[in-house]
A and B are shown apart, each in its own frame.
Chain A
Amino acid sequence: MLSLQHISKYYQTGGNKTFVLNDLSLDIDQGEFVSIMGPSGSGKSTLLNIIGMLDEPTSGYHYFMDQPVHQLKEKQRSALYKQYIGFVFQAYHLIDELTVLENIETPLIYQNIKGAERKALVADMLDRFNIVGKKDLFPAQLSGGQQQLVGIARALIGKPKLLLADEPTGNLNSKQGEEIMELFKKINKEDGVTIIQVTHSEKNAEYGSRIINLLDGRIESTTTL
Chain B
Amino acid sequence: MFTKNLLITWRGLWRNKTYAVINLIGLSAGITACLLVAAIVLDELSYDKQWTKANRIYRAISVNNRINGSDRFPQVFTGLGPSLKKDFPEVEDYCRMSVYGDRLKIGNNSDGVAVQTLSAESSVWNFLDFQITEGNPKKFVPGYANLVITEKIKQQYFRGQNPVGKIYYNMPEYGDPQPYLVTGVIKALPVNTHLRADVILIASYRPKDDLLAKEEYGTFSTQYLMLKPGTDTKNFSKKINAWYAKVTAPNKPGYSFQLQPFEDVYLRSDFAGVQSVQGSMRNLYIFIAVAALLLLIACFNFMTLTTSRVFSRMHETGVRKVLGASKPQLMSRYLTESLVFFSMAFVLAGLLSKLFMPYLETYIGHQLVFNLYGFGFVWLAVIAVLGMSLLTGLYPAWYLSRPEPMVILRSQATTGFKLNWLKKSLVVGQFVISIGIIIATLVVHYQLSYLDKADVGFDKNNLIKLSFNNWGKNAEVFKQQLEALPGVETVSIASWYPGAGAGYMSTEINVPGQSGKIQANYIRGDADLPAVLKVKLTNGRLFDRNLRTDVVDFDSVMRSDEKRADELMHSRPVIVTDYTVRLLNLKLNNRVANVEGIPVGVISNFHNESLHFGMKPCIIRAEKLTEGYILIRLKNNHPGNSLTSINTLFKATYPEKPFLYEWINDVVNAQYQNEAKLKQLFFSFSMLIVFLACLGLFGLITFTAQQRVKEIGIRKVLGASVANVAALLSADFVKLVLLAMLIATPLAGYIMSRWLQDFAFRINLSWWMFGLAGAITMFIAVITVSTKAIKAATANPVKSLRSE
Contact of A54 among B4, B15, B326, B406 (CB under 8 A): B406
Does B315 reach chain A (CB closer than 8 Å)? yes
The distance in angstroms between the C-alpha atoms of A109 and B319, with both chains bound, is: 14
Q: Which residues of B have CB within 8 Å of A110?
A: 320, 323-326, 329
Q: Which residues of A have CB within 8 Å of B320?
A: 95, 106, 110
Does B109 reach chain A (CB closer than 8 Å)? no
Nearest residue, chain B, Cβ from A49: B409
Whether the Cβ atoms of B1 and A109 lie closer than 8 Å is yes
Evaluate whether A93 and B324 lie within 8 angstroms (CB atoms) in the complex, with A45-B409, A49-B409, A109-B1 already known: no
Which segment, of A29-37, A81-89, A178-186, A199-207, faces chain B?
Answer: A81-89
Q: Which residues of A have CB within 8 Å of B408?
A: 93
Whether the Cβ atoms of A109 and B322 lie closer than 8 Å is no
Whether the Cβ atoms of A49 and B406 lie closer than 8 Å is yes
Nearest residue, chain A, Cβ from B317: A95
Q: Which residues of B have CB within 8 Å of A9?
A: none
Does B11 reach chain A (CB closer than 8 Å)? yes
The distance in angstroms between the C-alpha atoms of A158 and B1, with both chains bound, is: 17
CB proximity to B under 8 Å, residues A27-54 = 45, 49, 54
Whether the Cβ atoms of A78 and B324 lie closer than 8 Å is yes
Does B8 reach chain A (CB closer than 8 Å)? yes
Q: Which residues of B have CB within 8 Å of A91?
A: 411
Whether the Cβ atoms of B316 and A55 lie closer than 8 Å is no
The distance in angstroms between the C-alpha atoms of A98 and B411, with both chains bound, is: 19
CB proximity to A under 8 Å, residues B399-422 = 405-406, 408-409, 411
The distance in angstroms between the C-alpha atoms of A52 and B17, with both chains bound, is: 37
Contact with A along B307-337 (1 / 0, CB 8 A): 0000000011011101111100100000000
The distance in angstroms between the C-alpha atoms of A109 and B325, with both chains bound, is: 9
Nearest residue, chain A, Cβ from B404: A54
Whether the Cβ atoms of B406 and A55 lie closer than 8 Å is yes
Whether the Cβ atoms of A107 and B319 lie closer than 8 Å is no
Does B655 reach chain A (CB closer than 8 Å)? no
Does A125 reach chain B (CB closer than 8 Å)? no
Q: Which residues of A have CB within 8 Å of B15?
A: 97
Return A191 CB to nearest CB of chain B, in Å.
19
Contact of A107 among B315, B318, B323, B411 (CB under 8 A): B323
The distance in angstroms between the C-alpha atoms of A15 and B323, with both chains bound, is: 36
Evaluate whether A82 and B324 lie within 8 angstroms (CB atoms) in the complex, with A93-B315, A96-B316, A97-B11 already known: yes
Contact with A along B203-246 (1 / 0, CB 8 A): 00000000000000000000000000000000000000000000
Whether the Cβ atoms of B319 and A95 lie closer than 8 Å is yes
Q: Which residues of A have CB within 8 Å of B8?
A: 97-98
Q: How many residues of B contact A (CB 8 A)?
A: 22
The distance in angstroms between the C-alpha atoms of A95 and B11, with both chains bound, is: 12
The distance in angstroms between the C-alpha atoms of A107 and B319, with both chains bound, is: 10
Does A218 reach chain B (CB closer than 8 Å)? no
Whether the Cβ atoms of A93 and B319 lie closer than 8 Å is yes
CB proximity to B under 8 Å, residues A53-98 = 54-55, 78, 81-82, 87, 89-91, 93-98
Does B254 reach chain A (CB closer than 8 Å)? no
Contact with A along B46-81 (1 / 0, CB 8 A): 000000000000000000000000000000000000
Nearest residue, chain B, Cβ from A111: B324
Q: Which residues of A have CB within 8 Å of B4?
A: 102, 109
Evaluate whether A107 and B409 lie within 8 angstroms (CB atoms) in the complex, with A93-B315, A95-B319, A97-B15 already known: no
The distance in angstroms between the C-alpha atoms of A97 and B228, with both chains bound, is: 70
Return A162 CB to nearest CB of chain B, in Å.
14
Whether the Cβ atoms of B405 and A54 lie closer than 8 Å is yes
Return A171 CB to nearest CB of chain B, in Å.
11
Return B424 CB to nearest CB of chain A, in Å.
29
Q: Which residues of B have CB within 8 Å of A54?
A: 322, 405-406, 409
Does A154 reach chain B (CB closer than 8 Å)? yes
Return B310 CB to nearest CB of chain A, in Å.
16
Q: Which residues of B have CB within 8 Å of A98?
A: 8
Nearest residue, chain B, Cβ from A155: B323
Whether the Cβ atoms of B322 and A87 lie closer than 8 Å is yes
Does B472 reach chain A (CB closer than 8 Å)? no
Does B12 reach chain A (CB closer than 8 Å)? yes
The distance in angstroms between the C-alpha atoms of A154 and B315, with both chains bound, is: 16
Return A134 CB to nearest CB of chain B, in Å.
18
Return B406 CB to nearest CB of chain A, in Å.
6
CB proximity to A under 8 Å, residues B327-377 = 329
Evaluate whether A107 and B316 lie within 8 angstroms (CB atoms) in the complex, with A89-B409, A98-B8 already known: no
Return B323 CB to nearest CB of chain A, in Å.
5
Return A80 CB to nearest CB of chain B, in Å.
11
Q: Which residues of A have CB within 8 Å of B326?
A: 78, 110
CB proximity to B under 8 Å, residues A96-137 = 96-98, 102, 106-107, 109-111
Q: Which residues of A have CB within 8 Å of B405?
A: 54
Q: State the 6 A-B residue pairs at the shortest beta-carbon distance, nearest first.
A: A110-B324, A82-B324, A107-B323, A93-B319, A91-B411, A110-B325
> Would you mind naming 18 contact pairs between A and B with Cβ atoms under 8 Å apart?
A45-B409, A49-B409, A54-B322, A54-B405, A54-B406, A81-B324, A82-B324, A91-B411, A93-B322, A94-B319, A95-B315, A97-B8, A97-B15, A107-B323, A110-B323, A110-B324, A158-B324, A166-B409
What residues make up the interface of A, taking CB atoms closer than 8 Å to B? 45, 49, 54-55, 78, 81-82, 87, 89-91, 93-98, 102, 106-107, 109-111, 154, 158, 166
Q: A78-B324, A166-B409 are in contact. List 4 more A-B contacts (CB 8 A).
A: A54-B406, A93-B411, A97-B11, A110-B326
